[in-house]
Chain A
């Protein structure tokens, strides 16, 4: 193959018109293939109807102190708990330095409405629903929530204390639209 190479490449290493055309054509085809790939990839992302279910309103007037309800937001379970004064005091007393995902009790609740704890009921490990929201469920070693799938223990404020989960139970964006109705999302 040595002979044709020497006749086709320029001795002085100059760029020939054909080299330019080759590179330009292949590059343009590459850009085209990349652009075509975009919709093929993006079709997998959540569709408009899934994204449309972005917020829900929940009437929380019937939740007594010490009780919790489970509802759904974006097809995911949400725990809404009316904390007891004892649970609030206990959660505030925790030394933040010893937490895996440090967060104060105040970080996780609304000022003035700090008895309302709203969290996604989705274990931050691999997504199971932790136990502990309903009465009679196992609450784990820190008297909060326990995920039965891989054994993560959360405290009463939903903070990770033991087990494989990396972060606290997620607190979604929420606000009160009236004294008894909260809006999640």
Chain B
């Protein structure tokens, strides 16, 4: 939405006037992330993470396109070509370590971005479409990251490919045929590696496209804010540039410090040593785990060790794992509370901090643990809570809870003075 008080773009010189009447790209940028986009004045640092996720994608695309110039997608040489990048290519080690850790940091910032959305209920009307597109981006990211992890053709690459495509074999009737179709064979092989490379290269650009839709959908109602109340006037907003470009710039600096610490001083901390062993189709690693960002979902997959009526345990685990993300698509309609911000929702806040967040952290820990007791039983309890939280607890809270009184306006919540007194 363009607020009536939004600053209007005026071309500064003859060239920009000429440009504006032919391809108004500078105007688009000015209105999207420039002075022409009014933003609530009270955004906290949790609102940095959308921009940080965008930067992470740019890092991945830049390093990835360069890595592709040195990598060879063939099972005979893929592993060696990655080592070639590490040892022979000038700055190759830096590009690969930046790409590896860049993937982890992309997920870290996206998880914080989603956390922000969950706590401040950013998914509620009128921003449902922003939330839904965000989930689409998340699913695309997961597919891209998985296929990227297969490319070095190490032990974890090979067995990860086998296990993840094996998920599809759980589908009744068509499952095994579908898995063969996905792999292009009976086991991950050259056909698999080539198609994964092709898709790993193209999907980030699809993600970039969906991000444009995500931002477009966001700019129709405008950004939400920590109080969750609507913008009521000019005093409630400040222009995106220079105020939030500066704040995002500061956040970016902090992000890059952490990114550099990991990339330069502990580049393999988040990886798994078994992926430095070339793929061997006759030996499964003793402890096979996906990358850390998939652990919560992996724990849910493994929690189902029992049949439920006529549904096999294997299929149940797969349904639950995909269901744990798909149910988030229904979140805007499961949470019926008219109040957005968790700050004004006392019961919601307790279940959020003491229920959902520990539950997800526990699932993350369990997904990286071996498939034995007590981890299996704990995974079952945590998975049960995860689904109960979204499907039972949250809808009940949203209908029964008595929210705290909301401030009259964003300006009043910041300055303590009524909106019109500050005009």
- A residues with a Cβ closer than 8 A to B are 44-47, 50, 70, 72, 74-77, 100, 124-129, 148-151, 163-166
Would you give the shortest CB distance from B378 to chain A, in whole angstroms? 14
The reply to whether the CB of B288 lies closer than 8 angstroms to some CB of chain A is yes
Asked if A46 contacts B281 (CB within 8 A), the reply is no
Known interface pairs A50-B184, A75-B186, A166-B312; A148-B287 also in contact (CB < 8 Å): yes
Would you give the shortest CB distance from A38 to chain B, in whole angstroms? 13
B166, B181, B189, B283: residue with the most chain A Cβ atoms closer than 10 Å: B166
When distances are taken between beta carbons in the complex, the residues of chain A under 8 Å from B287 are 148
A76, A77, A148, A150: residue with the most chain B Cβ atoms closer than 10 Å: A150
The reply to whether the CB of B284 lies closer than 8 angstroms to some CB of chain A is yes
Which residue in B165, B181, B283, B371 is a CB contact (below 8 Å) of A151? B371
Compute the total of residue contacts between A and B using a CB distance below 8 Å. Answer: 93
Which residue in B165, B184, B284 is a CB contact (below 8 Å) of A128? B284
- Docked complex Cα distance between A70 and B314 (Å): 26
Within 8 A of A (CB), among B178-193: 180-187, 189, 191
Which residue in B167, B183, B284, B305 is a CB contact (below 8 Å) of A149? B284
Asked if B371 contacts A76 (CB within 8 A), the reply is no
Known interface pairs A150-B302, A166-B312; A46-B191 also in contact (CB < 8 Å): yes
Would you give the shortest CB distance from B295 to chain A, in whole angstroms? 14
- Docked complex Cα distance between A127 and B386 (Å): 27
Instruction: Give the residue name and chain of the B residue nearest to A46 (CB).
Output: B185
Known interface pairs A126-B163, A127-B163, A165-B314; A77-B282 also in contact (CB < 8 Å): yes
Would you give the shortest CB distance from A76 to chain B, in whole angstroms? 5
Known interface pairs A44-B182, A126-B167, A148-B286; A72-B281 also in contact (CB < 8 Å): yes
When distances are taken between beta carbons in the complex, the residues of chain A under 8 Å from B284 are 128-129, 148-149
Which residue in B184, B187, B286 is a CB contact (below 8 Å) of A74? B187
B162, B284, B287: residue with the most chain A Cβ atoms closer than 10 Å: B284
Instruction: Give the residue name and chain of the A residue nearest to B312 (CB).
Output: A166
- B residues with a Cβ closer than 8 A to A are 159, 162-163, 165-167, 169-170, 180-187, 189, 191, 195, 281-284, 286-288, 302, 304-305, 307, 312-315, 317, 370-372, 376
Asked if A129 contacts B282 (CB within 8 A), the reply is yes
Asked if B184 contacts A47 (CB within 8 A), the reply is yes
- Docked complex Cα distance between A154 and B313 (Å): 15
A72, A74, A127: residue with the most chain B Cβ atoms closer than 10 Å: A127
Would you give the shortest CB distance from A58 to chain B, in whole angstroms? 15
Asked if B186 contacts A76 (CB within 8 A), the reply is yes
Instruction: Give the residue name and chain of the A residue nearest to B316 (CB).
Output: A164
Would you give the shortest CB distance from B372 to chain A, in whole angstroms? 6
Known interface pairs A125-B314, A128-B162, A129-B282; A50-B186 also in contact (CB < 8 Å): yes
Would you give the shortest CB distance from A8 to chain B, in whole angstroms? 35
A100, A126, A129: residue with the most chain B Cβ atoms closer than 10 Å: A126
Known interface pairs A46-B180, A148-B284; A128-B159 also in contact (CB < 8 Å): yes
- Docked complex Cα distance between A75 and B282 (Å): 9
Which residue in A47, A72, A126 is a CB contact (below 8 Å) of B282? A72
In the assembled complex, 7 residue pairs joining A and B whose CB atoms fall closer than 8 Å, in A order, are: A44-B195, A50-B191, A74-B186, A76-B187, A127-B166, A148-B284, A149-B371
Instruction: Give the residue name and chain of the A residue nearest to B167 (CB).
Output: A126
In the complex, besides A127-B165, A149-B159, A166-B313, 16 extra interface pairs with C-beta distance below 8 angstroms are A44-B195, A46-B185, A50-B185, A72-B281, A75-B187, A76-B187, A77-B281, A124-B314, A126-B162, A126-B166, A127-B162, A127-B187, A148-B288, A151-B305, A165-B314, A166-B314
